[in-house]
């Protein structure tokens, strides 16, 4: 089945010899041209790209990802452009989805979004993902914006793609992005609200927690952030307070977040953790149950920490109700956690403990009704 459009792959790379071949092999069946913009590789990156008949361009690195990405887009000649990073790849299932999409593609669409898989749990299930705009119409001349943690500014008609891109990072973490922000600060570049958020993230990831909180606050004070970024900023402030051993500040910052919008599961779990550590099990259970209830509000393209909506609060509720002397309810929530991550060692450990405890008390474990409904916990109190 032929394609209805042509598609260019545009990439900026540097020292990607460990992952580039994997990336290019995953797109070769549906890409018409490969544009590789190299920002200073010293390994075999270019040699690998040549094996795929890529058009290779050198670009002097100037601490600005957008300039490099916009340069790569300027070299494309196809109807549409797909962008990837050197450590991204597409599995066989999603290759087929993309091939089918291109065979019947409606040219009225200006851009296509896709899931971006950033993490998986021990069972290989996705637990950390977001959506990114992946394929764009070249004639729209969309531009990348931002020195670091850049984004593609799009408009027009969107297609929500049903395919996913996998991020398979193997490089060691560096403070490269933090140094770009430091350089921007030194040059007195005016930070956008988005810059402030990502600068704070880099500060946090590099251990500058107090400075990170300061910049998260600056971001929040602009009142210009996307609502999911606002909630992320509050969540990150909570993380900083934990790392600085300033946990008594956590409830205040979380309740401030609740004034902005409905709760998000990871934030509710942080509040549950706060009360659990203080042995306030009833309060902790309330917030972990609220985290489970947030599953109904999870339809958004923000960064998605799936575990906080499923097994994490379930397993913590198992702990809370056990501490409250509600053995049957504790058992229920351990079984609920098992519906999300059946092979988790902690769940099996709990099952063995429950088996012994019920035997010691000379009672039978409660009969769980499947499929488990979260609201059924009331039956086991």
Task: Tell me the per-residue pLDDT of 283-305, one tens digit each, with 9 for 90 and over.
Answer: 999 999 999 998 765 455 455 67
Output the pLDDT for position 302: 52
Q: How far apart are CA 233 and CA 250, in angstroms?
A: 13
The C-alpha angle 120, 121, 124, rounded to 5 degrees, equals 70
Residues of the chain under the 50 pLDDT cut:
298, 301
The C-alpha angle 74, 79, 84, rounded to 5 degrees, equals 60
Give the tokens for residue 226.
């996307």
Residue 114: which of 127, 101, 124, 103 has the closest Cα?
A: 101
The C-alpha angle 50, 53, 54, rounded to 5 degrees, equals 75
In the block, tokens 């394609």 appear at 3
How many Cα atoms occupy the beta-carbon half-sphere of 294 within 13 Å? 28
Give me Rg for the CA atoms of the chain.
Answer: 24
Domain boundaries, the chain: 7-167, 176-261, 309-380
- Region for 124 from its dihedrals, namely left if φ exceeds 0, alpha if ψ lies in -120 to 50, beta otherwise: left
Output the pLDDT for position 370: 86
Output the pLDDT for position 158: 97
Output the pLDDT for position 174: 85
Pure H helices in 132-259: 176-186, 193-205, 209-222, 227-243, 250-258
What is the CB neighbour count within 10 angstroms for residue 308? 24
Q: How far apart are CA 265 and CA 157, in angstroms?
A: 31
Fold of 176-261: 1.25.40
213-231 pLDDT per residue, tens: 999 999 999 999 989 899 9
CATH superfamily of 7-167: Spore Coat Polysaccharide Biosynthesis Protein SpsA; Chain A (3.90.550.10)
Q: How far apart are CA 84 and CA 379, in angstroms?
A: 50
The DSSP bridge partners found for residue 152 are 144
Distance of CA 195 to the CA centre of its chain: 18
Q: Are 228 and 297 in contact (CB under 8 A)?
A: no
Q: What's this model's pTM, rounded to 2 decimal places?
A: 0.87
Output the pLDDT for position 123: 75
Alpha-carbon dihedral sign for residues 61, 66, 70, 72: positive
Q: Hey, is 168 helix, strand or coil?
A: coil
Q: Are 377 and 324 in contact (CB under 8 A)?
A: no
Output the pLDDT for position 295: 72
| Main-chain phi, psi angles of 334, to 5 degrees | -65, -40
Output the pLDDT for position 2: 67
Output the pLDDT for position 263: 86
Q: Are 266 and 237 in contact (CB under 8 A)?
A: no
Q: Are 284 and 251 in contact (CB under 8 A)?
A: no
Give the tokens for residue 371.
């499929």
Q: How far apart are CA 109 and CA 159, in angstroms?
A: 6
Cis preceding linkage at 182, omega within 30: no
Q: Hey, is 134 helix, strand or coil?
A: strand
By DSSP bridging, strand 80-83 and strand 143-145 are unpaired
Q: Are 212 and 240 in contact (CB under 8 A)?
A: yes
């Amino acid at each position: 089945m032929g394609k209805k459009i042509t598609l260019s792959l545009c990439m900026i790379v540097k020292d990607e010899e460990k992952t580039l071949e994997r990336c290019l092999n995953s797109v070769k069946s549906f890409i018409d041209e490969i544009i590789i913009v190299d920002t200073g590789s010293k390994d075999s990156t270019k040699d690998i790209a040549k094996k795929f008949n890529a058009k290779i361009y050198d670009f002097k690195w100037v601490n600005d990802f957008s300039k490099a990405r916009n340069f790569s887009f300027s070299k494309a000649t196809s109807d549409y452009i797909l962008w990837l990073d050197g450590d991204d790849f597409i599995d066989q299932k999603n290759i087929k989805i993309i091939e089918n999409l291109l065979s019947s593609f409606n040219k009225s669409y200006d851009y296509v979004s896709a899931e971006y898989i950033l993490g998986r749990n021990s069972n290989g299930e996705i637990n950390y993902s977001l959506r990114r705009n992946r394929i764009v119409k070249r004639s729209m001349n969309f531009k990348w914006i931002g020195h670091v943690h850049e984004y593609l500014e799009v408009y027009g008609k969107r297609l929500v793609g049903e395919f996913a891109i996998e991020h398979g990072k193997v490089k060691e973490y560096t403070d490269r992005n933090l140094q770009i922000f430091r350089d921007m600060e030194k040059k007195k570049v005016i930070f956008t609200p988005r810059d402030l958020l990502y600068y704070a993230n880099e500060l946090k990831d590099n251990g500058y927690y107090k400075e990170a909180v300061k910049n998260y606050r600056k971001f929040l004070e602009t009142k210009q952030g996307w609502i999911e970024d606002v909630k992320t900023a509050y969540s990150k402030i909570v993380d900083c307070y934990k790392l600085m051993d300033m946990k008594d500040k956590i409830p205040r910052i979380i309740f401030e977040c609740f004034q902005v919008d409905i709760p998000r599961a990871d934030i509710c779990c942080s509040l549950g953790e706060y009360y659990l550590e203080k042995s306030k099990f009833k309060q902790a259970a309330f917030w972990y149950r609220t985290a489970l209830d947030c599953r109904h509000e999870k339809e958004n393209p923000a960064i998605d920490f799936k575990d906080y909506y499923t097994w994490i609060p379930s397993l913590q509720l198992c702990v809370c109700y056990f501490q409250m002397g509600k053995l049957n309810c504790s058992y229920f929530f351990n079984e609920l956690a098992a519906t999300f991550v059946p092979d988790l060692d902690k769940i099996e450990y709990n099952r063995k403990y429950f088996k012994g405890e019920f035997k010691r008390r000379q009672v039978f474990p409660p009969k769980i009704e499947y499929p488990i409904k979260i609201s059924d916990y009331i039956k086991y109190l």
